[in-house]
Structure 1
């Protein structure tokens, strides 16, 4: 990896050879919620062989680093804090995963949680148990929304907030990195940089990574009993945000398909698929709107279809470029 990574803080007495599980936690300008996330990890990450790596992705402000440093320096949490100097969520993930692989020789798996989430009290153990039981290489779990004041509860039914699967078991693929376990051998096989930094500000680097993992034959699983609880600001229930997210999701799907099917024939198939999705999207949106009782939610399928076509002309919304608006 070419990006600069600086380890700023490590807990005293950290014995690298004893660590077999690392929870990686990227953070960007959410110091208050970062502390809530770390508090939810405190008890379960005191188990033998478990460490936490916080990846500060604001190399200038470093609010997360300053907030979390006392917990690690006092040994309240075992692990380390690093600064991923290259801005972007994919760069932050890459920095944490690379550091974990290089530092902990006996590492077996990496878990991921975001700095706007709270882990269930047995989250770490549940994901590991599911991976062992299912024989899966990558295991995801639900991100359950917890809406802040001012948000409409009906948006719990919106596709951007609902888990992709309901029951524990093998699944064809995953889509989000906000609640996931990845075995070490997967990362070693895929090689760094694991997430393509072209997705740094549009999102979708995780979906692209999973798509490539599936091509390599890795198996996916789902653990319904290992939720994290995502704090959702009222801003994310406004039409402008939901519309941007729907368009972005469509664009990401087109971009990933374009990378797997190059050439004129691949482009023709991809555009034909996008046009077909656009043609049926009004009926799918009508069904979704009637089922949820919300016209705003119902528009999602139309937004995804339009987003796919816009991406063919280079129109992709960088929703993560301005974090304060996200």
Structure 2
């Protein structure tokens, strides 16, 4: 605790205490040449299993930690609370990272993210998310577009789209409208894509750090044909909603038409190349999702029901 805290790792969680414990363990094991803190936000105000498990793990952590409960349900509420707590509780920190509660940070992750931000003077940094499947899956499904991460060497990017492995500078939060993650995306998902799109429009720079790797664990429920096809449709819906936020209605509808035309061709091409029907259907279903969203029908996978939400893949 004698070292100045330069970075804060934020972990929003919802009804996944066992998976959360793995995530926290991987973060606490990080070795850095700077001080860091960890903030966990439990979005299950009724159960708070995640908060209880976290407090037990933090008892002997040896670093600054915070555990809070966010009663407003929705992933954007949880993310905003996590970053907001980190920003206010650790005013000396310059870098704010996020990792999901179904992920595990590999050794060197935190140091690599911060080093890239400092070396490249990057406002935002993203890193690879490598999927690990709980059950054996055919290669065709393992290579499904939904499971593919950005690849290649460390370099500048236009933007990243997901918050599951990211670093955001304090000055970015100070410049962006409040709250940073638009709560209209609470139950659909895509609040991170919207946020990083707005950051790009505001002129903030983004870098990709190939060395900052996290593993995401994919449960058996998340590799079924039904789930993957529904997820492809939701991806298209998110894309449309983000576009509609930043484009005129005619421009967004025009993108729908282009997407549908190319989606049909791409899906046919993938199918003819011998790909699985589920993987080949992705481009077309993304286009369908855009059209469905433009008609006002939006999925709500992050809205809590009577039963606990299964791990997200």
Whether 2:247 is the aligned partner of 1:276: answer: no
Kindly report structure 1 stretches of 4+ aligned residues shifted beyond 6 Å: none
TM-superposition CA deviations, 1:19-77 (whole Å, max 9, x none): 22000001111111111111111221676420100111101100111111122223355
User: Could you tell me whether the CA contact under 8 Å between 1:165 and 1:222 is conserved in 2?
Assistant: no
- Alignment check: 8 A CA contact 1:201 1:318 kept: yes
Q: Deviations over 1:66-96 (max 9, x none)?
A: 1111222233553111111111111111001
Corresponding residue to 1:220 among 198, 206, 213: 206
Q: Is the 8 A contact 1:138 1:221 kept in 2?
A: yes
The separation in 2 between residues aligned to 1:315 and 1:254, in whole angstroms, is: 11
> Do residues 101 (structure 1) and 87 (structure 2) align?
yes
Q: Is the 8 A contact 1:117 1:228 kept in 2?
A: yes
Q: Residue 158 of structure 2 is aligned with which of 172, 178, 203?
A: 172
How has the CA–CA distance of structure 1 residues 105 and 203 changed in structure 2, closer, same or farther, with 3 Å as cutoff?
same
Give 1:320's match in structure 2, choosing from 302, 305, 310.
Answer: 302
Residues 313 and 135 (structure 1), Cα distance of their counterparts in 2 relative to 1, 3 Å cut: same
C-alpha distance 253-131 of structure 1, shift in aligned 2 (>3 A): same
Q: Is the 8 A contact 2:23 2:105 kept in 1?
A: yes
How far did residue 287 of structure 1 move?
Answer: 2.8
Q: Secondary structure at the match of 1:20?
A: strand
- Aligned position for 2:123: 137
What runs of 5+ residues in structure 1 fail to find an aligned partner?
Answer: 1-13
Q: Which residue of 2 aligns with 1:286?
A: 268
Instruction: State the superposition RMSD in angstroms.
Output: 1.8
Contact 1:34 1:116 in 2 (8 A): yes
Per-residue deviation at 1:150? 5.0
- What TM-score does the superposition give when structure 2 sets the normalisation length? 0.93
Query: Which stretch of the first structure deviates more once superposed, 270-279 or 73-82?
Result: 73-82
**Structure 2 residue aligned with 1:249, among 232, 235, 240?**
235
Cα shift at 1:272? 1.8
Pair 1:73-2:59 in alignment: yes
Q: Contact 2:32–2:110 (CA<8 Å) still a contact in 1?
A: no
Whether the aligned pair in 2 keeps the contact of 1:20 and 1:49 (CA below 8 Å) is yes
Residues 85-234 of structure 1 mapped to structure 2, 5 A cutoff? 85-149=71-135, 151-234=137-220
In 2: Cα distance, 1:290 partner to 1:67 partner:
49
What is the TM-score of this pair, normalised by structure 1? Answer: 0.89
- Number of paired residues? 308
What are the superposed Cα offsets for residues 117-142 of structure 1, whole Å, 9 maximum, x if unpaired? 01011100011112222221111111
